[in-house]
Structure 1
Amino acid sequence: MSQWVSGKITEVNWWTPTLFSIKVAADVAPFQAGQFTKLAMTVGEKRVARAYSYVNAPKDPVLEFYLTEVEGGKLTSGLVELSVGDSIEVEAKANGFLTIEESPKREVLWMIASGTGIGPFLSILADGKVWDKYQQVVLIHSVRFNTDLTYQDFINAHQKLFKQFTYLPLVTREMPEKGLRGRITDLIQSNEIAKYFNQERLPEDSHFMICGNPDMVKDSAQLLQTLGYSRHRRSEPGHISVEQYW
């Protein structure tokens, strides 16, 4: 049975009219970077809970979650009203296997995200274990508009600190200010992503971590399998790890 703890909102940051992050002070159990927990609150007369990835590193004392306002969303209708000092319930124990600890050691790590699915990868980058395990680390973030490319100060700082880290933004609905235009699957299929890194194809010695829109996760994983990469399992190390908690 789930154990819940009471948390207090310490900060609310609106990145765009629909994208926002909250910081929460709560006494949760230790977790691994890349894992998720659940947030819950009473909306109207019903208690509603949904899963969200930690954005903060496990060592950080304040928890952070990256959210999008969903039209008609049962929980986000309450989350958007939160202010500093308000209470929210947090599931004490984290879940999920989209972690460095569960990933096989390979030359290149590709962290592929759409929308708020970048959250667990920000936690992984902040945690720091990734730098000792992989020679190259690539973060690919797909969004609709340039303004949806959030956490830029954090990402830019890590690019300066870690020479093995590369960030590639993808924008689907307008010309990108940087990066490439198009859907992740189309750019993998056309080899545009490999060409962006001056390669003929994606390296064989790669591991792919994928998080975001369920259709993107499914389609990307299936496409990578047609290219010869396999799903990763503890009993059978492969190349593809995914997170789906929608």
Structure 2
Amino acid sequence: MTHQAIDRAAFSPSAALAVETVTRVRHLTDRLFCFAITRPPGFRFRSGEFAMVGLPGDGRPLLRAYSIASPAYADELEFLSVKIEDGPLTSRLRHIRAGDPVYLGRKATGTLVTDALLPGRRLFLLSTGTGIAPFMSLVRDPEVYARFAEIVLVHCVRQVADLAWRDLLEGQLAGDPLVQDEALLQFHYLPTVTREPFGTQGRIARLIERGTLFERVSGPRCFDPQGDRIMLCGSMAMIRDHAVDLEARGFVEGSNSRPGQFVIERAFVG
């Protein structure tokens, strides 16, 4: 498809929406892409939150919630998106290029934040697909390393090419201006693939059952409500199944108003 520049005149900024500019786009596969946009002055967010992003629609803006993958100190806001051929927004958003305008909600929000968790020792970030995005912000947040002795990021995907940010994560965030020293000692990355040969294979539930999830960290080889804190982000089925499992293990779901032992992004699962 030939790219057609998006007409900035079609955008109408408002009290709720800003108009920002795409700074870069990276296509990982025919199903997945990352894009970054300018960050408005004064735009604040907590690591793990999401914002509304979109394009003009038929009579009103067409918006979707996207988790912010950038660290809180970044000048840009980065997002990870699937490509849905007949999706109302992603069928158009997949063709954006640097210089194009997009809508951005002026306020970020969400429940995948450390404020919603009780103090603990180990933090497990369990993600599938594009669910890794909010965790990319969290693992580059110095506060996370101050609050938890060990951070484990699990990313489960179908194919190896779907492992977004793999090189950065395998390098334990080397070069990050704020957390590279802490990450070298405290951060663990566990990618797993379900449909291609890879070093670690299988769904997250299988890694938990076999103890693979706990091989690189100290402490018990199972989830412990006393010291473990868990965040879930990914498919609705994955979140539902693991939330049920965690509650059966004695974990209590947290929120911004009442911190607990695990959290999910309620806005994405209803």
Question: Could you say whether these structures have the same fold, taking a TM-score greater than 0.5 normalized by the shorter chain as the test?
Answer: yes
> Secondary structure, in 3 states, of the residue corresponding to 1:73?
coil
Note closer, same or farther for the CA distance 1:235–1:123 as it changes in structure 2 (3 Å cut).
closer
Q: How many residues get paired?
A: 244
1:237 is displaced (CA, Å) by 4.0
Percent identity over paired residues: 29
Number of the residue aligned with 2:202: 182
Aligned residue identity for 2:30 = P
1:29 is displaced (CA, Å) by 2.4
Distance 2:37 2:44 in 1: 15
Aligned residue identity for 2:135 = F
Number of the residue aligned with 2:34: 21
Q: Retained in 2: the 8 A contact 1:5–1:90?
A: yes
Give the TM-score of the pair, scaled to structure 1: 0.90
Number of the residue aligned with 2:5: none
Aligned residue identity for 2:223 = L
Would you say 1:6 and 2:28 are equivalent positions?
A: no
Number of the residue aligned with 1:109: 123
Higher strand share: 1
Residues 130-141 of structure 1: matches in 2 within 5 Å?
A: 130-141=144-155
Q: Retained in 1: the 8 A contact 2:116–2:254?
A: no
Distance 1:26 1:106 in 2: 32
Q: Retained in 1: the 8 A contact 2:115–2:256?
A: no
Aligned residue identity for 2:43 = A
Q: Retained in 1: the 8 A contact 2:53–2:66?
A: yes
Would you say 1:142 and 2:156 are equivalent positions?
A: yes
Number of the residue aligned with 1:232: 254
Would you say 1:119 and 2:133 are equivalent positions?
A: yes
1:183 is displaced (CA, Å) by 1.5
Q: Retained in 2: the 8 A contact 1:195–1:201?
A: no
1:236 is displaced (CA, Å) by 5.0
Number of the residue aligned with 2:11: none
1:166 is displaced (CA, Å) by 0.6
Q: Retained in 2: the 8 A contact 1:159–1:167?
A: no
Q: Retained in 1: the 8 A contact 2:45–2:72?
A: yes
Note closer, same or farther for the CA distance 1:244–1:235 as it changes in structure 2 (3 Å cut).
closer
Residues 92-103 of structure 1: matches in 2 within 5 Å?
A: 92-103=106-117
Gaps of 5+ in 1: none
Q: Retained in 1: the 8 A contact 2:172–2:189?
A: no
Gaps of 5+ in 2: 1-13, 175-179
Note closer, same or farther for the CA distance 1:236–1:9 as it changes in structure 2 (3 Å cut).
closer
> Secondary structure, in 3 states, of the residue corresponding to 1:60?
coil
Q: What is the root-mean-square deviation of aligned Cα atoms in Å?
A: 2.2
Cα distance per residue 1:136-162 (max 9 Å; x no partner): 100000100111112023213335532
Number of the residue aligned with 1:170: 192
Distance 2:257 2:267 in 1: 22
> Secondary structure, in 3 states, of the residue corresponding to 1:142?
strand
Note closer, same or farther for the CA distance 1:134–1:197 as it changes in structure 2 (3 Å cut).
closer
Cα distance per residue 1:98-132 (max 9 Å; x no partner): 11233221010000111111011101112221111
1:62 is displaced (CA, Å) by 1.0
1:46 is displaced (CA, Å) by 6.0
Q: Retained in 2: the 8 A contact 1:209–1:241?
A: yes
Distance 1:36 1:148 in 2: 21
1:43 is displaced (CA, Å) by 4.8
Q: Retained in 1: the 8 A contact 2:208–2:222?
A: no
Which one of 128, 152, 164 corresponds to residue 142 of structure 2?
Answer: 128
Aligned residue identity for 1:18 = R
Distance 2:242 2:106 in 1: 31
Q: Retained in 2: the 8 A contact 1:214–1:244?
A: no
1:83 is displaced (CA, Å) by 1.0
Which one of 221, 242, 245 corresponds to residue 223 of structure 1?
Answer: 245
Aligned residue identity for 2:118 = P
Note closer, same or farther for the CA distance 1:238–1:42 as it changes in structure 2 (3 Å cut).
same
Give the TM-score of the pair, scaled to structure 2: 0.83
1:97 is displaced (CA, Å) by 2.0
